[in-house]
Amino acid sequence: MKRVTSVSPVRLSLSRLHAAAGIILLVYSAVSVFAELPHEESEHVPNGWDNAHQAISTHIGFLSRHVDRFFEDSAYVEESTRTRLTVRQEASVSRNHDLGFTTHISASVTLPNMERRLRLMFDANEDVEDEFEGSSNFSDSLNNSFDRPSLRLQYGISQSSNLSLELAGGIVLKHARPFAGPRLRYSRDISDTLCFRATERFYRYTKYGWRSRTEFDLNQSIGSRNLLRQRVKFDWSEKKQSDDGVKITFSTNFFQPLSNKRVFKYGWDTVYKTKHGKGWDSTMVSVSYRQRLWRKWLVGEITPFTRWEDAYDWQTDPGIAMSVSVIFEEREK
């Protein structure tokens, strides 16, 4: 139960500073992008759907996509035309939270004879409105992995290196409740080392009502291998509007690849909820180490973190999270 006490002004100041830095960087990138729009020439990708994914010619575009793929970011998973299956087992524990286990399963099959535009996608507990909480033990985690599965068809209307528009329609299988909506992604290289990206997902669920998830990314390459990413994410839904309003997440991540198989990620995440009486919700700093293990399809990740939450009076909450992912993906043709 949430306790009402005085909030540390230092921790709140850090959260506000983090949010302000993210907004300033994103405003700068947006101004840079739109200042160049009148000089933009239309770009045509003549050789089919697959070539759109190979049209990333700049250094920052290649580096961003490599990071997205290695960490299974939604920017890669939702647009990849490769058939893939992912099983991820997570475990986490901290001073304020007991040990919890979570199993995630997802699959994507590219259907034939549609120029790789149509995909059948399956998600277990990942694409529903309710947040899926971890189980108290590994056995329950496996049993609950298919608690609220969803199945959807996703069709790509248009896609280039700068613009992607897709329509999806599906059903939450447990209660046979359908959902549908578009996904739009716009990206622009400001320079060879700086890239702006905006993504919007807008779904209508028959059970939960409307839901909007909006992300703004500013990617900056540091040297030849490192990537700095500033992300601001807005999450709104009819179901949770009365409780949270709009949930805004400010994220700063620095990716440091050691090789093609090993990457460090240093992160700082701050959450703000716009509903009156909510305000600053939490902030967390973390260091993640992700590595391919004995096989290319086996990936492990370990993340020590320290978190401060309003629900726990902003007490320091150190913890650790670990995950193992099995990823089978169609080879690039």
Render pLDDT for 5-38 as a digit per residue (tens, 0 to 9). Answer: 444 555 556 566 665 665 565 555 555 544 444 4
pLDDT at 279: 85
The answer to whether 245 and 275 have CB atoms below 8 angstroms apart is: yes
Q: Which of 230, 234, 204 is nearest to 218 (CA)?
A: 230
For residue 3, being part of any structural domain is answered with: no
For residue 175, being part of any structural domain is answered with: yes
The two structure tokens encoding residue 44: 């045509």
The two structure tokens encoding residue 79: 């647009």
The CA–CA distances, whole Å, from 100 to 114, 146, 222, 315, 331 equal: 42, 17, 36, 20, 34
For residue 45, being part of any structural domain is answered with: no
For residue 2, being part of any structural domain is answered with: no
pTM, two decimal places: 0.77
State which amino acid sits at residue 155: Y
Look at the chain and report how many structural domains it folds into.
1
For residue 258, being part of any structural domain is answered with: yes
pLDDT at 214: 95
For residue 234, being part of any structural domain is answered with: yes
- Check residues 53 and 91 and name the one with the higher pLDDT: 91
Q: What element of type H or E holds 10?
A: helix 9-36
Question: Could you tell me the residue range of the domain that residue 71 belongs to?
Answer: 9-40+50-329
Residue 125's CATH number: 2.40.160.40
Residue 167 pLDDT greater than 50, yes or no = yes
